[in-house]
């Protein structure tokens, strides 16, 4: 990929050549493939990154993300995601950083600075109001201009101001009547003209819906290829004078500029994918994961655990590594450490008992690690995938590809095989399962395409003749069809899946992101008696010196393509936690989820740790915090309501009649709970430590165009630790209704036992004081007095300090 003079090249291109630039991107832009991809570093999920409240650490994380891109031969990273968490039920809520635009915007800016310092292009997404999965391609988000500016656009605005991302990705949805990918007010008027941003705007995958409208609005690149709305259609529109005179040049120019940026990165075209699986990568991932963990409750100092006493580990998330959520955010990790393995490594020879208690899966657990490729002793874990041009009914059909598979969740959107002749192709996927006991083994299959499952030659699942639509594979796939097979301990069973590609699918709906190839997911689990398991776990807990329940969600429950139906933990998990806590009042719960869950047992447990989806090192990081090798310093980046009914978007969270009304307006998250004085389980910014801190000597002053805040922070406890200083601003007498307070700045400081430091937080004054005036269509910084409230959470009760400043004259402003 050579450096180019953009204007010189543009002047030499024909209209057809310019049009050819406006769809698809270079192969490998994603880096890791969906199907059988090269393993990669898996970072904590977005809410985990947001929970660090540490801009320096996030910039360091961004640098590693950039290095990972280079290793994968990718010039463009499709992230970060900074949509707002309007509701706890958002299917992709785990991908976003926060419910607060300042925390999300400043965190994203730090990530982008790190990513782009390596020459990689960061793509901030999804611009804008892509805050639910329900009917995401067709829904019309009805949002007031004030809420759009103060909540939903503000994180993007801050990222542009502080990091200048080189690419934007548009949202799937409409905003106030027009799809964002063809919304000139959003893309051109606000992003480019008002904010002065320069860079490439691409659609989300299959998120382009028009030719002329999208090009005129400022959408440079239709993703992915082959094109649906450009190519010949765009050339015809150009020749018919459907475009503004300069629109084609403007779009082609930005694509060429991206090519130039990619050339300057030094990353070679079609570079072979490699890994950065080394001690340095592991150490940073472990540190990020540990700093993301939030200690929510610690009655009687039940934590940290002691490693000279035995420990009982309970729960379905104990021996399962919930390292990431589902959908396009998922990837094949270098490795994934389970909480049980992390805890066992800390036990120093002490007894570590385990009881599963209950299952928590939505779809059956993937079988890649529990099946073998053959009956031979020492055979590899995994499955054998074989591709064919002909269906199973053809005798002696030729195998055109054979691959060893370790991930039983297979999406073939980027699968390539020279031997496959058409879009319609076939495959067998087979493996061997050895029963761990006498009883029943449950098999499950989701498919985009069609599939039949056989056990020792007998068909047990027909997911081909009749299909039922489910949420798998971004909404393209079926529900999981299941079969129960009686098994005997030690006996090995041959399981074969006959798969046919996407053209054989029967259930595509109008609101799915259809992709080529198709997909299949194979799950399986030995059936357990959950009533007995709960009783058994409680009996063990009654006698245990230390008890931890590893609970939560996983990539089945939190995934792109579908929102959660409720805030409850799955299955019998609430009953399990209640039973264990009743047996042992010192029970600690480790919760892994990307967004909040209801906690009916909260008052019964002594300790609660929120561990998110922690990436490769999730289990080690959890153990580091549980045993006190790391003093927890994470803070919640979103509020944890008591019930789903309490959240501000409860009445307006789904598409109804093709639209979603953002009825809570600017009162998202803590802004709402503060205003209506509604209690929450845990507030925005909350997080405990194994030490204690105090704030004093607050000083607030206006320094030119900035608000300068300084405060002394003291470690008053018995061990070193980090504290996050959070600065909130409240206007005393606004002319319109405003939230009680709003986060405007923050910083994290590490203090040794007994140490004190003065921390300085500088906030651009107009960002600290302004709200968006819809009548003037500008931001307004009103004359008057403002309170500055500084504390360690949005609660701002014990230990918070207060100051004030005054604006002498009302002014309006636009831009950055």
Annotated catalytic residues are 204
Burial 211-241 (b: 16+ CB within 10 A, else e): bbbbbbbbbbbbbbeebebbbebbbebbeee
CB 131 within 8 A of CB 652: no
Kind of pairing, strands 383-388 and 450-455?
Answer: unpaired
Is residue 357 classed exposed, middle or buried when 0-12, 13-18 and 19+ CB atoms within 10 A define those classes?
buried
126 Rama sector, left if φ>0, alpha if ψ -120 to 50, beta otherwise: beta
Short-list 797, 803, 808, CA closest to 763 = 803
Peptide bond into 224 cis (omega under 30): yes
Kind of pairing, strands 659-661 and 680-682?
Answer: unpaired
Short-list 661, 470, 513, CA closest to 207 = 513
For residue 731, give the H/E element and its range. strand 721-731
For residue 796, give the H/E element and its range. none
DSSP label of 271: P
Angle between helices 101-116 and 154-163 (to 10 degrees): 30
Q: At residue 167, what are phi and psi to the nearest 5 degrees? A: -145, 150
Q: At residue 81, what are phi and psi to the nearest 5 degrees? A: -95, 125
Measured CA distances, 636 to 53, 292, 339, 794 (Å): 9, 9, 21, 10
- CA–CA distance, 453 with 263 (Å, rounded to integer): 47
Burial 636-659 (b: 16+ CB within 10 A, else e): bbbbbbbbbebbbbbebbebeeeb
Query: How far is C-alpha 41 from the chain's CA centre?
Result: 15
How far the first Cα of the chain sits from its last, in Å, is 34
- Return the number of other C-beta atoms located less than 10 Å from residue 376's C-beta: 9
Helices (H) and strands (E) in the chain, counts: 18, 36
CB 404 within 8 A of CB 381: no
- CA–CA distance, 341 with 792 (Å, rounded to integer): 33
Kind of pairing, strands 771-773 and 778-781?
Answer: antiparallel
Is residue 263 classed exposed, middle or buried when 0-12, 13-18 and 19+ CB atoms within 10 A define those classes?
middle
Short-list 108, 104, 125, 218, CA closest to 172 = 125
Short-list 76, 60, 83, CA closest to 166 = 76
Q: Is 59 helix (H, G, I), strand (E, B) or coil?
A: helix
339's CB contacts (< 8 A; 6+ apart) are 313, 317, 318, 319, 321, 550, 590, 611, 618, 619, 622, 623
């Amino acid at each position: 990929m050579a450096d180019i003079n953009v204007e010189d090249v543009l002047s030499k291109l024909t209209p057809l050549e310019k049009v050819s630039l406006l769809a698809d991107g270079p192969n490998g832009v994603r880096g890791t493939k969906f199907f059988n991809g090269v393993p990669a570093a898996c970072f904590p999920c977005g809410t985990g990154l947001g929970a660090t409240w540490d801009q320096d650490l996030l910039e360091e994380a961004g640098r590693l993300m950039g290095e990972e891109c280079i290793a994968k031969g990718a010039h463009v990273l499709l992230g970060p995601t900074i949509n707002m968490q309007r509701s706890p039920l958002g299917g992709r809520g785990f991908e976003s950083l926060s419910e607060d635009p300042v925390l999300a915007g400043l965190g994203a800016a730090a990530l982008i600075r790190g990513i782009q310092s390596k020459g990689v292009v960061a793509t901030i997404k999804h611009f804008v109001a892509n805050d639910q999965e329900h009917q995401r391609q067709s829904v019309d988000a009805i949002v007031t201009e004030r809420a759009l500016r103060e909540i939903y656009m503000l994180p993007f605005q801050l990222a542009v101001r502080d990091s200048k991302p080189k690419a934007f990705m548009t949202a799937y949805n409409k905003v106030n009547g027009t799809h964002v990918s063809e919304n000139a007010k959003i893309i051109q008027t606000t992003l480019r003209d008002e904010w002065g941003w320069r860079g490439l705007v691409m659609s989300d995958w299959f998120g382009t819906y028009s030719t002329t409208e999208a090009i005129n609005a400022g959408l440079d690149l239709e993703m992915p290829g082959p094109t649906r709305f450009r190519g010949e259609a765009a050339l015809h529109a150009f020749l018919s004078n459907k475009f503004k005179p300069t629109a084609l040049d403007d779009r082609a120019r930005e694509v060429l500029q991206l090519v130039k940026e990619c050339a300057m990165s030094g990353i070679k075209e079609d570079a072979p994918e490699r890994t950065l699986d080394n001690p340095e990568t592991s150490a940073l991932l472990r540190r990020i994961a540990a700093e993301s963990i939030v200690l929510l409750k610690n009655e009687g100092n039940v934590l940290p655990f002691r490693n000279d006493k035995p420990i009982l580990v309970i729960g379905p998330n104990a021996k399962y590594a919930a390292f990431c959520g589902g959908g396009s955010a998922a990837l094949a990790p270098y490795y994934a450490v389970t909480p049980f393995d992390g805890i066992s490594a800390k036990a120093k020879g002490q007894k570590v008992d385990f009881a599963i208690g209950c299952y928590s899966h939505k779809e059956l657990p993937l079988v890649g690690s529990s099946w073998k490729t053959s009956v031979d002793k020492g055979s590899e874990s995994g499955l054998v995938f074989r591709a064919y041009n002909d269906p199973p009914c053809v005798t002696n059909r030729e195998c055109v590809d054979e691959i060893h598979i370790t991930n039983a969740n297979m999406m073939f959107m980027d699968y390539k095989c020279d031997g496959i002749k058409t879009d319609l192709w076939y495959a067998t996927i087979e493996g061997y399962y050895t029963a761990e006991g006498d009883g029943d083994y449950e098999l499950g299959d989701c498919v985009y395409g069609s599939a039949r499952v056989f056990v020792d030659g007998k068909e047990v699942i027909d997911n081909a003749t009749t299909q039922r639509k489910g949420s798998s594979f971004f909404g393209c796939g079926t529900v999981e069809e299941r079969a129960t097979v009686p098994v005997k301990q030690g006996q090995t069973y041959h399981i074969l899946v006959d798969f046919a590609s996407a053209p054989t699918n029967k259930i595509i709906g109008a609101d799915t992101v259809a992709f080529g190839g198709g997909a299949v997911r194979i799950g399986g689990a030995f059936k357990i008696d959950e009533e007995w398991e709960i009783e058994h776990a409680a009996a063990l807990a009654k006698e245990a010196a230390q008890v931890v329940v590893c609970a939560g969600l996983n990539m089945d429950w939190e995934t792109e393509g579908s929102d959660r139906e409720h805030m409850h933990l799955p299955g019998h998990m609430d009953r399990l936690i209640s039973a264990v806590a009743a047996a042992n009042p010192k029970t600690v719960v480790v919760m892994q989820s990307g967004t909040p869950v209801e906690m009916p047992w909260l008052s019964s447990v002594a300790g609660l740790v929120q561990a998110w989806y922690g990436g490769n090192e999730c289990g080690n990081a959890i153990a580091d915090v549980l045993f006190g090798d790391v003093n927890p310093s994470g803070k919640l980046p979103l509020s944890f309501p008591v019930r789903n009914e309490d959240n501000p978007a409860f009445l307006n969270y789904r598409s109804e009649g093709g639209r979603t009304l953002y009825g809570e307006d600017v009162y998202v998250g803590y802004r709402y709970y503060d205003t209506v004085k509604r209690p929450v389980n845990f507030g925005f910014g909350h997080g405990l430590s194994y030490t204690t801190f105090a704030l004093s000597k607050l000083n607030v002053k206006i320094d030119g165009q900035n608000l300068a805040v300084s405060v002394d922070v003291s470690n008053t406890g018995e061990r070193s630790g980090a504290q996050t200083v959070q600065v909130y601003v409240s206007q005393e007498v606004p002319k319109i209704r405003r939230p009680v307070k709003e986060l405007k700045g923050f910083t994290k400081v590490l203090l040794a036992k007994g140490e004190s430091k003065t921390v300085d937080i500088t906030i651009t004054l107009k960002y600290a004081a302004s709200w968006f005036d819809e009548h003037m269509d500008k931001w307004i910084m009103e004359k008057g007095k403002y309170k500055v409230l500084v504390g360690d959470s949005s609660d701002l009760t014990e230990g918070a300090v207060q100051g004030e400043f005054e604006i002498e004259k009302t002014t309006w402003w636009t831009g950055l």
